[in-house]
């Protein structure tokens, strides 16, 4: 299922959301001019390698700079391929505009970065022995999705599901769509632990960590009530999103 849009109208231009998309796109274009060897070096230096922080003796032995924690931030702005960045940036555009609308630009930027940092910490803790780099904005975007779920559980998410070569369009309540997405990440994370598959492939525990951070932190970053415009019927207002009948 690929999200196309939501039913919530954004009242302000999502400046920070577009800025984040622009920065990620610019970095990706700069990556495109690099050789495979240089890309690998960048991934290991600026990507998030858990063992670099959990096994400092190993990190020093292989040449990592000590006490350098920038990968928790820089890894959010690196992507491994065209589908990777397009999928992430599209999802951010779908959900980020409404979250930014409710938080305001500066609060939203801090919230986004904190969600990404939380995602990186959870990934590092769960995969403490991994020497593989993880890159991508999906942990921070998961935080945005978690915030959207808490703010607008009754809104609709329009999705496309390709079946063979034909696209089929559906709309789901946000609580079902985002709840299903989170459950899929959580179950996949448990399976990876039980199977001993390590940190290869998709960093599902970063998704879990970012999503949970978003659900827990969002209320701290909302605009003051006096600054919020009246909400539409399907929003039911952020304060009452979970308090009325469905």
Cβ 171 vs Cβ 236: under 8 Å: no
Helices 82-103 and 15-32 pack at an angle, to 10 degrees, of: 160
User: Does any domain span residue 120?
Assistant: yes
Asked whether residue 46 is domain-assigned, the answer is yes
Over residues 190-210, the pLDDT tens digits come to 988 877 655 456 789 999 999
Rounded percentage of the chain residues whose pLDDT exceeds 90: 76
| Residue pLDDT, tens place only, 17-71 | 999 999 999 999 999 889 999 999 999 999 999 999 999 999 999 989 888 999 9
Specify the CATH number for the domain of residue 157.
Answer: 1.20.1540.10
The answer as to whether 73 is a domain residue is: yes
Asked if 179 and 152 count as a contact pair (C-beta separation under 8 A), the reply is: no
Coil, strand or helix at 102: helix
Report if residue 246 sits inside a domain: no
Q: Is residue 201 part of a domain?
A: yes
Query: Is 245 among the domain residues?
Result: no
Number of domains in the chain: 1
- Largest distance between two CA atoms of the chain: 59
**Residue 163 covered by a domain:** yes
């Amino acid at each position: 299922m690929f999200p196309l849009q939501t039913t919530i109208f954004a009242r302000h231009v999502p400046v920070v959301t577009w800025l984040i998309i622009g920065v990620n796109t610019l970095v990706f274009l700069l990556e495109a001019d690099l050789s495979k060897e240089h890309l690998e070096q960048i991934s290991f230096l600026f990507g998030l390698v858990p063992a670099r922080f959990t096994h400092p003796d190993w990190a020093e032995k292989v040449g990592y700079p000590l006490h350098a924690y920038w990968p928790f931030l820089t890894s959010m702005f690196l992507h491994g391929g065209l589908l990777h960045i397009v999928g992430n940036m599209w999802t951010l555009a779908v959900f980020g505009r409404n979250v930014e609308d409710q938080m305001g630009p500066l609060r939203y930027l801090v919230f986004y970065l904190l969600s990404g940092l939380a995602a990186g910490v959870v990934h590092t803790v769960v995969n403490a022995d991994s020497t593989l780099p993880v890159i991508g904005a999906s942990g921070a975007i998961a935080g945005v999705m978690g915030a959207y779920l808490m703010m607008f559980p009754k809104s609709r998410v329009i999705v496309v599901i390709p079946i063979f070569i034909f696209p089929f369009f559906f709309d789901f309540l946000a609580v079902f769509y985002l709840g299903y997405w989170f459950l899929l990440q959580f179950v996949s994370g448990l399976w990876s632990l039980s199977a001993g598959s390590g940190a290869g492939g998709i960093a599902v525990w970063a998704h879990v960590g970012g999503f949970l951070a978003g659900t827990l932190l969002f209320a701290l970053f909302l605009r003051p009530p006096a600054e919020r415009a009246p909400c539409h019927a399907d929003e039911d207002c952020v304060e009452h999103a979970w308090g009325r009948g469905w």
